[in-house]
Amino acid sequence: MQLFPCPFCGTRDETEFRYLGEADTLRPAGGGAAPIAEWTRYLYFQRNVKGRVAEIWSHVPCGETFRMERDNVTHVVTGSASLRKESAS
Amino acid sequence: MSKRYSALSLAVEGLRGHTGWAPVWRHPQPKPAYDAVIIGGGGHGLAAAYYLAKLHGVQKVAVLEKGWLGGGNTGRNTTVVRSNYYYPESVALYDLALRLYEGLSRDLNYNIMLSQRGIVNVAHSDAEMEICARLANAMQINGVDAELFSPEQVRRVAPAMNFDPKTRYPVFGGVWHKRGGTARHDGVAWGYARGADALGVDIIQNCAVEDFLIEGGVCKGVITAAGTIRAERVGLAAASHSATLAAKAGFELPTHVYTLQAMVSEPIKPVLDTVVLTLGTGTYVSQSDKGECVFGGGIDRIPSFAQRGNPPVHESVIAGLLDAFPGFGQLKLMRQWAGIVDVVPDSSPLIGPSPVPGLFLNCGWGTGGFKAIPAGGWLLAHLLAKGEHHPISRPFDLDRFARGALIDEAAGSGIAH
């Protein structure tokens, strides 16, 4: 059983977490005016890096949404930071 | 060239003490150039090479495999073959695979041990039975065998199941797909490899592709540890590593890479002669010819390139098995393993040209690639030979995401993929 670090609660069981997506995936600017290719890429396509990755996760019980850095081959976690504005400073 | 297998050759070799069997494929050094190079020596890549040489007469073909043949997902699945899909596009694809499987042992002169023992998807409520009726109707309209089963009919094909109405997932009936079953997974890879080699295909193992040779925006070959290999056309059939390789060619794929685990019990006497999938837990089980209960379930929910499973899903798969077959609680677990699967948002594969001309895709099979091997290979061979889609693969093109023309089998047939 792997433990993941929630920035708010501390380490918790992996079953309490939900993967939300790759980090640094930006919603296309301009709404409906953005080209279809940009929306398609944003909605469906993944970078699929093997090794060290940055991802957005949610700790379901407390609702914390955070950025986790880990290695998707060894499963070693190297960083965890909240996305809340007050913790960004 | 290996000899033709028959009862006679087996008898003759038996009398000679089995000293006359020769290796059934060569271990050639890569040539500097080929008509077509296929990346990935799993079932799909080997099948593509076989059909390319056999049906399209392409002379110089190579399969490049970074490890050993069938050592990836081809050797890690639960050997189930079936064609119980919802959408017509999927039925055309998976039923092509099943029809090719039905003639494959004869075609390859290699026993793939296809056993069409039937597969039953078991439902646990009236609402699920309505979904089962919808699936059975769709399958019948699309020309695939399907029968809606009552609880009594489920009991007839799987008497070892738990039929207690007070259990968490009671048996309300299900969908029976008689042509589904199992096939020997290694046999499929080895049979295609033997067939392809006999037709002159170079199968090169321990040869990882590191990059693509791109000239003027067109893929002209691959760069490997063993040097540069030029090719008129390149096929990418590397399952989860297709996405990693796509990045080298400068494009992305709509795949999520997850771990899928499976396991076997110790061998026991025959107790289950069909494949059972319970819709409530997603656990599916069959019994191998050796007597082991082979079972699996859903994917691990953590994106991963590690070929091993995590304990929470391991536990839930076993819990699902024991709910359906309480008697199996006495069994010892003998082996557990995992593969990494490339899951596409609509649970349908990616077959077609890539954004780079000269490079063609056959990936995104997610958790259901084994059953589709003959069709995936057949369609990739068509793409590599003609440079364009066969009508069966057209709906599975990468362009379906921009067009919004998804083929959502996860929602359509409601079964694990």
Per residue in A26-82, pLDDT tens? 999 999 999 999 999 999 999 999 999 999 999 999 999 999 999 999 999 999 999
In chain B, which residues have their Cβ closer than 8 Å to the Cβ of A14? 302, 310, 312
Q: Does B84 touch chain A (CB under 8 A)?
A: no
Q: Tell me if residue B81 falls in helix, strand or coil.
A: strand
Averaged confidence pLDDT in chain B:
95
Please spell the DSSP secondary structure of B345-409, one letter per residue: TTS--EEEE-SSTTEEEEE--TT--GGGHHHHHHHHHHHHHHSS--TTTGGGSTTHHHHT----H
At B320 the pLDDT is 96
Closest Cβ opposite residue A48 in set B247, B301, B401: B247
Question: So where are chain B's domains?
Answer: 23-110+185-254+346-412, 119-178+257-343
Question: CB distance A1–B257 less than 8 Å?
Answer: no
Closest listed residue to residue B241, CA positions, set B45, B375, B83 = B45
**pLDDT greater than 80 at residue A87:** no
Give the distance from residue A22's alpha carbon to the nearest chain B alpha carbon, in angstroms: 10
Cβ pairs bridging A and B (under 8 Å): 65
Give the distance from residue A37's alpha carbon to the nearest chain B alpha carbon, in angstroms: 7
Cα separation, B376 vs A37, whole angstroms: 27
Residue B330 binned pLDDT confidence (cut-offs 50, 70, 90): very high
Q: Tell me if residue B2 falls in helix, strand or coil.
A: coil
Question: CB distance A44–B401 less than 8 Å?
Answer: yes
pLDDT in tens, B51-75: 999 999 999 999 999 999 999 999 9
In chain A, which residues have their Cβ closer than 8 Å to the Cβ of B252? 41, 45-48
Question: Residue B235's beta-bridge partner residues?
Answer: B38, B360
Tell me the average pLDDT across B132-154.
Answer: 96
Residue B176 binned pLDDT confidence (cut-offs 50, 70, 90): very high
Q: Where are the alpha helices (DSSP H) in B69-149?
A: 88-102, 104-108, 126-141
Give the distance from residue B8's alpha carbon to the nearest chain A alpha carbon, in angstroms: 49
**pLDDT greater than 60 at residue B1:** no
Q: Does B402 touch chain A (CB under 8 A)?
A: yes
Closest Cβ opposite residue A19 in set B301, B310, B401: B301
The percent of residues above 70 in pLDDT, for chain B, comes to 98
**pLDDT greater than 80 at residue A10:** yes
Among the four given CATH numbers 3.20.20.70, 2.60.120.200, 3.40.640.10, 3.50.50.60, the one describing domain B23-110+185-254+346-412: 3.50.50.60
Q: Does B345 touch chain A (CB under 8 A)?
A: yes
Tell me the average pLDDT across B266-295.
Answer: 96
In chain A, which residues have their Cβ closer than 8 Å to the Cβ of B257? 48, 50, 72
* For B346, nearest residue in chain A (alpha carbons): A44
**pLDDT greater than 90 at residue B390:** yes
Question: So where are chain A's domains?
Answer: 3-87
Q: Is the dihedral of CA B98, B121, B76, B247 positive or negative?
A: positive
Task: Determine which of B258, B259, B401 to mutate to test the interface with A (most A C-beta atoms within 10 Å).
Answer: B401
Identify the CATH class of B119-178+257-343: alpha beta
Give the distance from residue B349's alpha carbon to the nearest chain A alpha carbon, in angstroms: 14
* For A4, nearest residue in chain B (alpha carbons): B302
**pLDDT greater than 60 at residue B415:** no
Closest Cβ opposite residue B244 in set A19, A44, A48: A48
* For A49, nearest residue in chain B (alpha carbons): B244
Q: Is the dihedral of CA B274, B336, B258, A12 positive or negative?
A: positive
How many CA atoms does the CB half-sphere of B109 hold within 13 Å? 13
Cα separation, B196 vs A16, whole angstroms: 48
Other CB atoms within 10 A of residue B402 CB: 15
Cα separation, A46 vs A29, whole angstroms: 19
Tell me the average pLDDT across B285-301.
Answer: 95
Question: CB distance A44–B345 less than 8 Å?
Answer: yes
Is this complex's ipTM strictly greater than 0.90?
Answer: yes
At B301 the pLDDT is 87
**pLDDT greater than 90 at residue B2:** no
pLDDT in tens, B338-354: 999 999 999 999 999 99
Residue A86 binned pLDDT confidence (cut-offs 50, 70, 90): confident
Instruction: Spell out where B251-332 has E strands.
Output: 256-265, 275-278, 284-287, 293-299
The CATH homologous superfamily for domain A3-87 is Folate-binding superfamily (3.30.2270.10)
At A89 the pLDDT is 47
